[in-house]
Structure 1
Amino acid sequence: MLRGEPGIGKSVLLDYVAERASGFRITRAAGLESEVELPLAGLQQLLGSSLLERSEQLPAPQRDALWVAFGLRAGPAPDPFLVALATLSLLSDVAEERPLVSLVDDVQWLDRASVQVLSFVAQRLAAERIAMVFAVREPNTERELDRLPDLTLDGLDDHHARLLVQSAFPGRMDEQVRDRFVAETRGNPLALLELPRAFTPAQLAGGFGLPDAAALAGRLEQSFIQRIDSLPAETRRFLFVAAAEFVGDLTGLLRANDELGIDAEAVVPAERAGLIELGARVRFRHPLVRSAAYRAAPPDERRRAHAALANATDPQTNSDRRAWHRAHATPVPDESVAVELERSASRAQGRGGAAAAAAFLERAAELTPDPARRGTRALAAAHANFVAGAPEAAEALLPIAMMCPLDELERARVDRLRAHIAFARTRGSETPALLSAAAKRLEPLDAELARETHLEALWAAVRSGRFERAEGVVEAAEAATAATRGCSTRAIDLLLDGLTMRLAQGYATALPLLARALDAFQAEGFRRENIAWCWLACQLAMDLWNDDACAAIAGGLAGVARDRGALTVLPFALNYSAAHQLFAGKFDVAEQLVQEADAITTATAGVTIADFSVLIAAWRGDKERTHRLRAAVIADATSRGEGFAVEVAEWALATLHLGLGDYCEATAAAQRADDPDGLGFNVWVLPELIEAAVRSGDPSTATTAFERLAERSSLSSTAWARGVEARSRALLSQGHKAEDLYVEAIEHLRHSHVVVHHARAQLIYGEWLLREQRRVDARTQLIAAYRALDAMGADAFAERARRELLAAGETVRKRIADARNDLTPQEAQIARMASDGLTNPEIGAQVFLSHRTIEWHLRKVFMKLGVSSRKELADLLRDPAQSSA
């Protein structure tokens, strides 16, 4: 990334790269200020027709996403990051034939969709024969590419600056005047070349009329305006039209000028002045020349230029550009133009361009003469801005909409959007009440949307937890659903019915409805409208001790998100999958998934999520990391009012201290994690609290926690519920009863997905046997527990088992490091997929890398593990006891 102020030489360096890249294929694009709202305009420039023709060879989901995004095929709006993956695959395939250099200038004026795609591609390059160089003006508010290595360009030193300014002015220049130019421009090359041309020889000789201290970009633009003003009137008009024609289409420009009666030869003085070039495309010498020409045009001249360009634009092939020109040609509200803009917005949404749709709708609202329609379009623009990730812009449009005569449904939608904006900012706070109020307002107007909004309100209340006990939210949802409960078979409706009853009437009453909702959710598959509710479904599955549903929903969501390239959803899915891999004792896999989620969040410039890294650190017994992550999670979650994340952090701390044998600390942490009204987490927190309280000599706390646990576990027939209840009851029991319960717990948990608790049950039983002076029996359980916990990487619990074994007279050898530990999380993930039989392209599609990068990673895996084939790799990974030694 080249950074610097206008005129510092960024574009010159890009040209230099292109000249030196002998034998390379060159692709170029440049952001245009007037094109910043057109979705993927920059990416289309970069790929061009020649590269797009190669897209036929892409995997079908990627190819279809790219074609829909570019309007080459009809279809549902693609996820923008599936488009990004398609671009990465396309560029990688092209670079196989000949190395590729992609040069992108004026990134600050690229449309947001193109920036997202190119940011993703640039950050996923590893072994591809691709170089990408970007140039961006500073100061710059576009942050997606901030993670790239960068080079900030400074001005020339004084000596070279004097030489350059003197070369641009062949006559005599007063030395003090020259030094003033050098100081004022801070060695900016374009300023040194251009600013002297704005003054007469007499001024330069004596220092009269030197530039003031205004911003350098403004001074440069002003100097170009002065040069434009010195041109013949017909030439200036030609430049005005060229500046408004933002794609550089020479044919369209000449057609528009012909309509305005401007002769093509009028451009000659501007060409001689070095301001513009006419070739296959129209190019201004510098973006500041274009902006200077556009701003120098009187308003009526600009409107005439846009009108002529609109007439010269084919309404069939370039309908959006035609609509944009018409919008800028219209001085007063015009319904026909507003309708055309509205159609452009619809097309943009169909291609996944929410930001472009928002821009079209906002301009449509401004040009709408009828107040009612203006309000409708302003509300639509606000919603599009919110979807595009611009909540501030969305919020700014809501007062405009509310000043118009909206109908009752539209006003209810305004309330709902306000609540969504609040939830995006805080995750808690006043959001549940706002969503509940919007849902009540929607009930007589749009019953389906009202039910969905009630579900959103309940979920916001659950996420907020301890921070916001939203009064009336549950009651409102219960009143709204009572009459129709059980009438719908939609998974979303069943989730609402079940969650409402769970929160309003308690666990036992809600069980049948919740079970039916989970069945429906899984039966419907992971349709696009259901993805948003997977987190709630996972929490409800935990609440029901249904580890089969937990694993199926979390794993299924991750698979669907991968297939669709839904990278905004995938980090959440990977974290839930990581949690269930953790409970299954596959700590390495869990860690790989969490790190992949972090990498995707980084590559997509998404908001960092409170992930399960803190839990993994706790189970591994990493005290320093657990405390550090816990502090960060709690600080962030408290600022957002998200009690859900605080509970995860405290639960992790309780687990850590249990492993370390710090039972008083574990009790305190578990009590902080325990939210009696919490959804799902009590199945994890209460067993920890019971064990910690028993071991710290607090039977009263343990008994109270067990009573609450048994209220729920006794209603479930799953092996998880039966096993955890038996283990917890055994901790509070004595003699034969305790032993029978420990044996029962181990047997149940053996048949569940929660392998970690099966090993923990063996550990606790072995500890109990040792206290009963049954050393031989104790060693059997403790050895099994130690081996399982050690193989998982649950180091603190494994050490606890080792200490007990030493007390039982058993010598335990610590685990010898496995060569697989040398693999990075990404290498381990790729190795696992390769051992499962996936090809390089299939692995690349799964982890959003090119097949060449997968090949590069596998070479490193083979070297580290000392294998030479995929068969050897599969054999090694199938046998956990084997090492490369």
Structure 2
Amino acid sequence: MSLIGRQAELEHLAGLIEDIQHRGGALLLSGAPGAGKTALLAEVRTHCASAGVRVLAANGVQSEQQVPFAGLHQVLYPVRTGLNGLPAGQRAALGTALGLADGAAPEVCLVGLAVVNLLAETATTAPLAVLLDDVQWLDQASQEVLSFVARRLCSEPAVLIATHRAGEPSALTSAGLPERVLDRLSAEAAAALLDRVAPGLPAPARARVLDQAEGNPLALTELPSTATESSPLALTPRLEQAFAARADALPAATRHCLLIAALHEHGALAEILAAAGLQPEAGVAALRPAVTAGLITLDSEVIEFRHPLVRSAIAQSAELGSRQAAHLALAEVLSGQPDRRAWHRAAATLGPDEQVAADLEATADRAQRRGGVAAAISALERAAHLSADPADRVRRLLRAGELAVDSGHRDTVDRVLAELRALPLTARQRSLAAWLPSAFDDGVSEGAAGPGELLTLVEQVLADGDLDLAMRIFWGTAMRCFWVEPGSAVRARIIAVADRLPLPAHDPLLVAITAYVAPIDRGDVVVARLRELAAEGSGDPIAYRYLSSAALQVGALTESARFSAAAQPGLRSEGKLALVARALAVQAWSCVRLGDLLTAAPAAEEAAQLARETRQPYMYGLARAVQAEISALRGEYEQAETLAAEAEQVGLAAAARPVLAKVQLARGIAALGAGRYADAFLALRRVHDPADPAYQLALRCYLLPELAEAGLRCDQADEVRKIVADLEAAALSTSSPALTIGLRYARAVLATDDRAESLFRTALEADLTRWPLERGRLQLAFGEWLRRQRRPADSRPYLRAARETFDALGMPGWSERARRDLRATGEASPEHREDAYHDLTAHELNIARLAAEGLTNREIGERLYLSHRTVSTHLHRIFPKLGITSRTELGAALQPTPA
């Protein structure tokens, strides 16, 4: 390897290749144009050849950005026959994306899972390196799929190495990949490189080049030819100017071919020469001077520019008329490829042209069917600009905006709305435009309309008879009432409109809307309908998703856990990862309160991961807050605070009340466990204060046990009694299980001694089979009360039961409290042995549980969006941690050890 000044980078890359059999992964190489990124990638390719590593590659080209999955097609073309070995759903998704089959528009993550498995299978015959040059210029759909893939190669004999031009946006730069930035060469290395490429350069010119090149390898190579010139331009434009000057010195026929090649998507020689009107032999002859000038390389099929700056220099230095003519010539050659033809015709068109606009809209249709949403948006925006009729322009812009909402591109929506402000809109179009910015992050983000404003839109759209649009807006309106507090008057208005909707009373979406907007006032109705719908069992994952959210709002946590678990298989199989993240967050939240940390921990971990991947910051904050609660219950107080602080930062950014409420709950639990009762009370009290950003109408009902205990232990029992009285009134309207259980606990622990025992016994007589954490708390509190009443013999059964419960639930801080009280009664407790599964990470625990349920490695991989080989690798790490040797032993290994 002979690159000067890049020894550290070369050694790092060589290490990735040499270690590929033991560990896969990804690396992003970033740097300025000419920093040597492509040269490093070439060295990696050479190293792969000597190491027996197979290479798949793609080069990003600006002119190909509008072709959906073009970059992915480059990568996978050599292994395309492997599609036949993929599971049917993945095969269909990837085939549709690549244009090899017709089907429903695939979700990006389903395409990504197909690619992960295809690469994993390919890597079984030889280790694999995926080399991507200039990823910022790959089409957006390919970038998103390859980002998904890059995060999932760590257990495969495969690496993905991508180069990225610093300062350019790319999905891979926000994927959390390891990154290595190529800085300028040191003075010594720059001088050595210049002496190699221009050994006879006079001293004054040499000094000028070293100064102007700023340690940039490409500049050091190219600027010696212009060393006598000085230029005020920045380095990149100066290099482009140097390349353009070199091209200007070539014959006219060569310049004409070069311009067409610069505007062509992927350098196919036959198409370029046909567009130039040249026969192959004459065309190759015309291009020879460009090869001699060091601007291109040429083989029998492809023209490749020596550097992307050569391509851009030639395109930008050409006159407008010449560029238009070149685009039109390419459009004629590409008559059998309607999408590429449409884009070249659009590039050649300056004013309105309805035919070109219609062709681009048809291109958008095809891109959308293949799952290339970003390409569809670009085509629609360009079609809008070429529309002769303002009504067509509005229609196309709004369609682009709706697609941008569905794919999470807020910047596109802002751009679309800026253009719409100057155009005439119908009432429906004004409503749609007003709703678009509110569709991001559940409307919590800055600039979104409030619930009251959205409700006005709902009423307008309903009056126009568009129920589908009205329900899209109404669902967002209802969810807004979860994240922010609109006040009782707005909630009443929303419910009044909900009551007039032409939907059956048991419609899952209507049930969820009612729960979000009036979790207390309509709690009885929602709980009853949830139980009826649970008995019916629709099987629809979207319906289950609505019902799980509704159940969470009204504290029906067993139903919430059940519905959220039922929603996930269908959502996963459809590749709807954004909704999977939400279902997992609901499941984790519910299971924590039910004491099922074994389910909650991996659900919360995956929810956080998927929320980050799908750009849902507030769901990420919510998942992190649930993880903080889990850590607090496990007695991991420092970890709980770390997670709570991270979640709080997310929640405070937009006053996302559920995140902040959950943070205070986690802190309250941690403070209780550490014996800091005043701190616990202050944290938990905030959730009940309407003036506090952590106040949340529904969630304040579900943390009474913690608040009551904290208040009792820091002389704030009277303050807690006021809150309990308020919630007693709320309980008249809702049969919320969480509220009912919390009130029973609070009544008992706050009661006078003459009433406490009967209240404890009443609370314990309730069916708490699915609420072991709450049962354990009651047993502990009752046992402690009995001991304080000097009834040690009576207290022991309750303290013993609490100890066993908390041991089984994996809550050592709580079980130690029970042990201390038992010791005070004269009874010793057996030492609790930590279950082996506590050594598993949340991710490993998830895989282990699925394997214990009987799922195969391939089924687990499809469920968790991993290759089946990655699953196998994880299981081989899991077995020794659990002290087992086969998956048949997993079920027993994941059971809590009896006390």
Q: Would you say same fold, with TM above 0.5?
A: yes
DSSP-derived class of the 1:609 partner:
helix
The answer to whether the 8 A contact 1:822-1:864 is kept is yes
C-alpha separation in 1, matches of 2:133 and 2:178: 16
Closer, same or farther: CA 539–596 of 1 in aligned 2, 3 Å: closer
The answer to whether the 8 A contact 2:524-2:734 is kept is no
* Offset at residue 813 of structure 1 (A): 4.1
Partner residue of 1:72 out of 93, 97, 100: 100
Q: Does 1:610 align with 2:622?
A: yes
Q: Structure 1 unaligned segments of length 5 or more: list them.
A: none
C-alpha separation in 2, matches of 1:311 and 1:571: 47
The answer to whether the 8 A contact 2:352-2:387 is kept is yes
Closer, same or farther: CA 875–388 of 1 in aligned 2, 3 Å: closer
* Offset at residue 103 of structure 1 (A): 0.7
The answer to whether the 8 A contact 1:259-1:308 is kept is no
Q: Does 1:515 align with 2:535?
A: no
Q: 2:34 is matched with which residue?
A: 7
Alignment-mate amino acid for residue 352 of structure 2: P
Q: 1:790 is matched with which residue?
A: 807
Q: 1:236 is matched with which residue?
A: 255
* Offset at residue 120 of structure 1 (A): 2.0
Q: 1:765 is matched with which residue?
A: 782
Q: 1:177 is matched with which residue?
A: 205
CA offsets, 1:356-401, max 9 Å, x none? 1111111001100111211222222233333333313311221322
Alignment-mate amino acid for residue 775 of structure 1: P
Partner residue of 2:821 out of 797, 804, 819: 804
Closer, same or farther: CA 525–81 of 1 in aligned 2, 3 Å: farther
C-alpha separation in 2, matches of 1:369 and 1:382: 20
Q: 2:445 is matched with which residue?
A: 426
Mapping 1:616-655, distance limit 5 Å = 616-655=630-669
The answer to whether the 8 A contact 1:543-1:683 is kept is no
Q: 1:756 is matched with which residue?
A: 773
Q: 1:480 is matched with which residue?
A: 497
Alignment-mate amino acid for residue 474 of structure 1: R
C-alpha separation in 2, matches of 1:823 and 1:513: 38
C-alpha separation in 1, matches of 2:526 and 2:609: 38
Q: Does 1:313 align with 2:334?
A: yes
Q: 1:301 is matched with which residue?
A: 322
Q: Does 1:98 align with 2:129?
A: no
Closer, same or farther: CA 640–526 of 1 in aligned 2, 3 Å: farther
In angstroms, what is the RMSD of aligned CA positions?
3.0
The answer to whether the 8 A contact 1:571-1:598 is kept is yes
Q: 1:130 is matched with which residue?
A: 158
* Offset at residue 240 of structure 1 (A): 0.9
Q: 1:541 is matched with which residue?
A: 551
* Offset at residue 52 of structure 1 (A): 2.3
Q: 1:19 is matched with which residue?
A: 46
C-alpha separation in 2, matches of 1:453 and 1:237: 53
The answer to whether the 8 A contact 1:428-1:642 is kept is no
Greater alpha carbon shift after TM alignment, 682-691 vs 354-363? 682-691
Closer, same or farther: CA 564–454 of 1 in aligned 2, 3 Å: closer
Alignment-mate amino acid for residue 708 of structure 2: I
Q: Does 1:875 align with 2:875?
A: no
DSSP-derived class of the 1:283 partner:
strand
Partner residue of 1:774 out of 791, 799, 803: 791
Q: 1:670 is matched with which residue?
A: 684
C-alpha separation in 1, matches of 2:431 and 2:132: 44
Q: Does 1:372 align with 2:372?
A: no
Mapping 1:281-430, distance limit 5 Å = 281-315=302-336, 318-420=337-439, 424=443, 426=445
C-alpha separation in 2, matches of 1:386 and 1:43: 24
Closer, same or farther: CA 403–432 of 1 in aligned 2, 3 Å: same
Q: 1:119 is matched with which residue?
A: 147
Q: 1:681 is matched with which residue?
A: 699
DSSP-derived class of the 1:21 partner:
helix
Identity between Structure 1 and Structure 2 (%): 34
Q: 1:459 is matched with which residue?
A: 479
Q: Structure 2 unaligned segments of length 5 or more: list them.
A: 1-27
Alignment-mate amino acid for residue 63 of structure 2: S
Greater alpha carbon shift after TM alignment, 771-780 vs 158-167? 158-167
Greater alpha carbon shift after TM alignment, 578-587 vs 102-111? 578-587
Partner residue of 1:439 out of 451, 458, 463: 458
C-alpha separation in 1, matches of 2:740 and 2:171: 51
Count of aligned pairs between the two proteins: 858
C-alpha separation in 1, matches of 2:586 and 2:315: 52
C-alpha separation in 1, matches of 2:779 and 2:67: 62
DSSP-derived class of the 2:167 partner:
coil
Closer, same or farther: CA 470–779 of 1 in aligned 2, 3 Å: closer
CA offsets, 1:817-853, max 9 Å, x none? 3433333222232222222222222222222222222
Greater alpha carbon shift after TM alignment, 840-849 vs 711-720? 711-720
* Offset at residue 32 of structure 1 (A): 0.8
CA offsets, 1:326-364, max 9 Å, x none? 111212210011111111112222222222111111100
Q: 2:582 is matched with which residue?
A: 572
Closer, same or farther: CA 866–476 of 1 in aligned 2, 3 Å: closer
Greater alpha carbon shift after TM alignment, 469-478 vs 133-142? 469-478
DSSP-derived class of the 2:463 partner:
coil
Q: 1:563 is matched with which residue?
A: 573
Alignment-mate amino acid for residue 138 of structure 2: L
Alignment-mate amino acid for residue 397 of structure 1: V
CA offsets, 1:209-255, max 9 Å, x none? 23x24222211111110011111111111111111111222232222
C-alpha separation in 1, matches of 2:841 and 2:106: 32
Partner residue of 2:834 out of 797, 817, 837: 817
Q: 2:181 is matched with which residue?
A: 152
Give the TM-score taking structure 1 as reference length.
0.90
C-alpha separation in 2, matches of 1:164 and 1:652: 58
Alignment-mate amino acid for residue 91 of structure 1: L
Greater alpha carbon shift after TM alignment, 443-452 vs 256-265? 256-265
The answer to whether the 8 A contact 1:492-1:530 is kept is yes
C-alpha separation in 2, matches of 1:635 and 1:423: 18
Closer, same or farther: CA 672–236 of 1 in aligned 2, 3 Å: same
Greater alpha carbon shift after TM alignment, 237-246 vs 545-554? 545-554
Greater alpha carbon shift after TM alignment, 720-729 vs 612-621? 720-729
Partner residue of 1:746 out of 758, 764, 789: 764
The answer to whether the 8 A contact 1:260-1:308 is kept is no
* Offset at residue 871 of structure 1 (A): 2.2
Give the TM-score taking structure 2 as reference length.
0.89
* Offset at residue 435 of structure 1 (A): 1.9
Closer, same or farther: CA 543–160 of 1 in aligned 2, 3 Å: closer
Q: Does 1:215 align with 2:204?
A: no
* Offset at residue 554 of structure 1 (A): 1.8
Alignment-mate amino acid for residue 669 of structure 2: T
DSSP-derived class of the 1:395 partner:
helix
Q: 2:749 is matched with which residue?
A: 731
Alignment-mate amino acid for residue 464 of structure 1: V
C-alpha separation in 1, matches of 2:467 and 2:846: 45
Closer, same or farther: CA 310–845 of 1 in aligned 2, 3 Å: same
C-alpha separation in 1, matches of 2:255 and 2:856: 60
CA offsets, 1:765-806, max 9 Å, x none? 111211222211201110110121133222332232222222
DSSP-derived class of the 2:408 partner:
coil
DSSP-derived class of the 2:215 partner:
coil
Mapping 1:562-601, distance limit 5 Å = 562-601=572-611
C-alpha separation in 2, matches of 1:428 and 1:400: 17
CA offsets, 1:468-527, max 9 Å, x none? x35853344344344446656542234445655x37xx62x5633563367458857464
C-alpha separation in 2, matches of 1:392 and 1:220: 31
C-alpha separation in 2, matches of 1:539 and 1:328: 47
C-alpha separation in 1, matches of 2:531 and 2:361: 40
Greater alpha carbon shift after TM alignment, 643-652 vs 588-597? 588-597
DSSP-derived class of the 2:123 partner:
helix
The answer to whether the 8 A contact 2:687-2:696 is kept is no
Closer, same or farther: CA 325–230 of 1 in aligned 2, 3 Å: same
Closer, same or farther: CA 310–473 of 1 in aligned 2, 3 Å: farther
